[in-house]
A and B are shown apart, each in its own frame.
Chain A
Amino acid sequence: MGNVWQLMLWRILLGLLTLFAVSVLIFSGVQFLPGDFATEVLGQAATPEAIDAIRRSLGFDVPAYMRYFAWISDVARGHFGTAFASGRDVAELVAPRLANTMFLAAMTAAFAVPLSLTLGLLCAVFRDSWFDRAVSFVTLVSISFPEFFVAYVLVLWLAVDAGLFPVLSDISSQSTLAERIFVSVLPALTLTLGVLAHMTRMTKVSLVNLLDNQYIETARLKGNPEIVVLFRHALPNAWAPITNVVALNLAYLITGVVVVESVFVYPGLGQLMVDSVQIRDIPVVQTCALIFAATYVVVNLIADVVSVVTNPRILHPK
């Protein structure tokens, strides 16, 4: 087990370095965008005096790199700064949105992961059957359509025609858990259709490759029932690629769902970041970017640990 801890420590250090690099890239990237907060928030109504007033009040007269270091040293101490536009604490602004995003991701994962693993498993066992072909076809179709299209089709069928679910994900801090689940069904379903194909196919392919191996044949010849062969002999070797794909999809569910948020007016982190980029509200953009980057780092770390722990050959190297 010792090398697992070592691996985690090493990965965490690398992760922090990644986050630092990301923050530099995002900060300089936003500097390259045309205009700044003052010009973007005023839009057509900008006058030189109003722009100056805003710039002065936000301290834009300080060089960019100094503003960056001031910000990053605050972050290191746990302060994410205040948003330019609302003057509110960024952490306070981001926290409820992050919670909403996590909720949707968790709900989608709760649908999608068991479903795709089961489908993948069944497809591997009954490969080349009509079942395998049907699953493959349906999941490929659903991933091939853009998400907003899938979303609109679901809205048309399940909300407008059937009236089963609401069109808007009208969530507030007062919503109960049941209300939250109810209003999040359509976005979660849309996202499920988006991530299903990837995970199902990876599960199937990794298993199919293994099932052709000689050691599986040996296990079968020992007289093991097929289910034992599958779970005890094949799956441990398949977990590594599967968890990697699951991890990437989970990260996607947290970071890449702005289109779905927009269609269902789901108050998530993606919408917040897009809003903030549009008006160059750098403290908010930076914080969102850090969260997204951290999501990838953490999720990949977990995937690596899982693949090590589940695979005896990596866990106990010769």
Chain B
Amino acid sequence: MSIDLEISRRILLKSMAASAFVGLASPLRAQTSTPRRGGHFKLGVGGGATSDTLDPAVWTTFMQSFGHSLHGYLTEVDNEGQLKGELAESWESSPDARIWTFKLRQGVEFHNGKTFTAEDVVASLNHHRGADSKSAAKSILSPIVDIKADGNGVVIVELKEGNADFPYLLDDYHIPMMPAKDGGADTSGIGAGGYVLESIDFGVKGTTKRFANYWKPNSAWFDSFEVLAIHDATARTNALMTGQIHAMDRCDLKTIHLLERNKDIEITSIAGTQHYTMPMMTDFGPFKDKDVRLALKFAIDRQQYLETILRGYGQIGNDHPISPSMRFAATDIPQRGYDPNKARYHLKKAGMTDLTLDLSASDAAFPGAVDGAVLYQQNLKAAGININVVREPADGYWENVWLKKPWCTCYWSGRATADWMFSQVYATGTKWNDTHWSNERFDTLLASARAELDEGKRAEMYREMQMLVSDDGGAVIPVFANYVSAMSRKIGHGKIGSSWNLDGYRSAERWWFNEA
């Protein structure tokens, strides 16, 4: 061992001498992209409260990253955006996409030594179903009629109606695989993920150490992983700059130009699915008129909104919720620009010369919502539309304002699939349809696209749906906000996935330390 070290040191010295002539940087940089094991990775996230629990049914920010280190999922959206099997090795569906058969990976072990089998899948999925479920994933899994284990290695899921995207939904962070226990799922934090729970102090921090028997090769590089709840963005940034944490989420966009100057820190800006919206109720007063809605959509300066509210860290939206990074995004639909004349034209077509409206805004919807509303107010003046920006209290915003006031500010973190996003927010009569929009053609397309297994036909249908929402729907969607995170240059990583924040919440599994 010592001889090896000695040789490698000599080789290193020689190669350093050689590289003095050709330039030192290139061999060193090549090294950084090779993953290596070891180290204690500390991640600071802008969330976490004493009310967090290990039960995935109600996970939020803190547990999203922490929980992903503990648990495995049936499927995984990889860093290229492709769906692949994780604990499910492969799957196939009936021709109508209604009955799904999952073949499970063999030889996978939970942290407590139990072998992962079909009964665990059944228990983990059933955990979110049933009348008394408090799970946020209940609506995703409600189309399930029956879940059956076929031996130890196969699970058969029967849906009410065909859904070609069903395997995508199983990547949702609420649905990890937990060991079956006493007829239910064991929610004590025992999983089949790369790290074993060591300690957790909810609202403060959680620590894990690497699982020795983790099945997945070339992943979970760190010896141990720790997540700290740091709500204050300044505190998060300071902790990163002083090396107390190695990575953070949700950079403060107001000061990010200063952080960019720090050579020890890499800022990653990932175009994901989250978007800011201003839903108007299409069954209320002036919003009933499609031309009024179009006037409002033409009268927002999206570029200015992006530059001002997001400091450029995002992409402009086209009044539909399918982000350019998503499957079936129809990027060929013409982009709507700021055009006060067109806005006036549509207003006139609706039989009006001027219009006064209330827009309820609060930074509870998204950071900068109130500033954004004021910016919009100025844009709208050029089109002869006056809006009163009603500043609503952040406390209780989702309870008292959203879905209650005719026009407000809102955000969506986005969904993994177009069908999911459309079904939850834009289909007629769903609970979260905050625009009360109802379009027969859209609903028909949505249902047929869901069960369609031909990708080309699906793409065509989703294109039409995006156009319908954009032209006829009730939401002004000015921007998609990027996931803006920062990390120490000590951290190495491949391409960063965009399915969720922080590399699909899998930073502990996918990243590594460049040097000890």
**A167 pairs with B239, CB closer than 8 A:** yes
> Which A residues lie within 8 Å of B209 (CB)?
none
Query: What's the minimum C-beta distance from A92 to chain B, rounded to whole angstroms?
Result: 11
Taken together as a complex, chains A and B put the C-alpha atoms of A173 and B133 apart, in Å, by: 34
Contact of A152 among B139, B202, B234, B431 (CB under 8 A): B234
* Closest B residue, CB atoms, query A183: B244
**B399 pairs with A275, CB closer than 8 A:** no
Q: A160-B238, A168-B228, A265-B235 are in contact. Are A85 and B50 (CB under 8 A)?
A: yes
Q: Is B3 an interface residue (CB 8 A)?
A: no
> Which B residues lie within 8 Å of A48 (CB)?
431
> Which A residues lie within 8 Å of B136 (CB)?
42, 45, 50
Taken together as a complex, chains A and B put the C-alpha atoms of A34 and B134 apart, in Å, by: 21
**A35 pairs with B400, CB closer than 8 A:** yes
Among B234-270, those with CB < 8 Å from A are: 234-235, 238-239, 241-242, 244-245
Q: Is B479 an interface residue (CB 8 A)?
A: no
Contact of B50 among A83, A152, A166, A263 (CB under 8 A): A83
Q: A39-B399, A44-B402, A267-B204 are in contact. Are A262 and B242 (CB under 8 A)?
A: no
Q: A159-B242, A167-B238, A168-B228 are in contact. Are A267 and B395 (CB under 8 A)?
A: no
Contact of A265 among B51, B52, B229, B402 (CB under 8 A): B229
Interface size on B, residues (CB 8 A): 42
Q: Mark A162-205, 1 if CB is under 8 A from B, else 0.
A: 01001110111100000000000000000000000000000000
**B231 pairs with A262, CB closer than 8 A:** yes
Q: Is B185 an interface residue (CB 8 A)?
A: no
Query: What's the minimum C-beta distance from B490 to chain A, rounded to whole angstroms?
Result: 17
Q: Mark B319-334, 1 if CB is under 8 A from A, else 0.
A: 0000000000000000
Query: What's the minimum C-beta distance from A80 to chain B, rounded to whole angstroms?
Result: 14
**B50 pairs with A276, CB closer than 8 A:** yes
Query: What's the minimum C-beta distance from A59 to chain B, rounded to whole angstroms?
Result: 14
Interface size grouping (class) on chain A: 35 or more
Q: Mark B53-67, 1 if CB is under 8 A from A, else 0.
A: 100001000000000
Q: Is A49 an interface residue (CB 8 A)?
A: yes
Taken together as a complex, chains A and B put the C-alpha atoms of A43 and B413 apart, in Å, by: 13
**A53 pairs with B134, CB closer than 8 A:** yes
**A40 pairs with B399, CB closer than 8 A:** yes
Taken together as a complex, chains A and B put the C-alpha atoms of A271 and B50 apart, in Å, by: 9
**A86 pairs with B205, CB closer than 8 A:** no
Q: Is A264 an interface residue (CB 8 A)?
A: yes
Taken together as a complex, chains A and B put the C-alpha atoms of A262 and B241 apart, in Å, by: 18
**A86 pairs with B52, CB closer than 8 A:** yes
> Which B residues lie within 8 Å of A87 (CB)?
53
**B199 pairs with A265, CB closer than 8 A:** no
Binds B, one of A62-70, A237-245, A277-285: A277-285
**A275 pairs with B234, CB closer than 8 A:** no
Q: Is A22 an interface residue (CB 8 A)?
A: no
**A41 pairs with B51, CB closer than 8 A:** yes
Among A147-166, those with CB < 8 Å from B are: 152, 155, 159-160, 163, 166
> Which A residues lie within 8 Å of B96 (CB)?
none
> Which A residues lie within 8 Å of B230 (CB)?
168, 265
* Closest B residue, CB atoms, query A159: B242
Q: A50-B134, A53-B134, A85-B51 are in contact. Are A41 and B58 (CB under 8 A)?
A: yes
> Which B residues lie within 8 Å of A160 (CB)?
238, 241-242
> Which B residues lie within 8 Å of A172 (CB)?
199, 201, 204-205
Interface residues of B (CB under 8 A from A): 49-53, 58, 131-136, 138-139, 199, 201-205, 228-232, 234-235, 238-239, 241-242, 244-245, 393, 395-396, 398-400, 402, 410, 431
Interface residues of A (CB under 8 A from B): 33-35, 39-50, 53-54, 56-57, 83-87, 93, 96, 152, 155, 159-160, 163, 166-168, 170-173, 262-265, 267, 271-272, 275-276, 278-279, 281, 284
Between-chain CB contacts (< 8 Å), 7 pairs: A39-B399, A50-B138, A53-B134, A85-B49, A93-B50, A168-B235, A275-B51
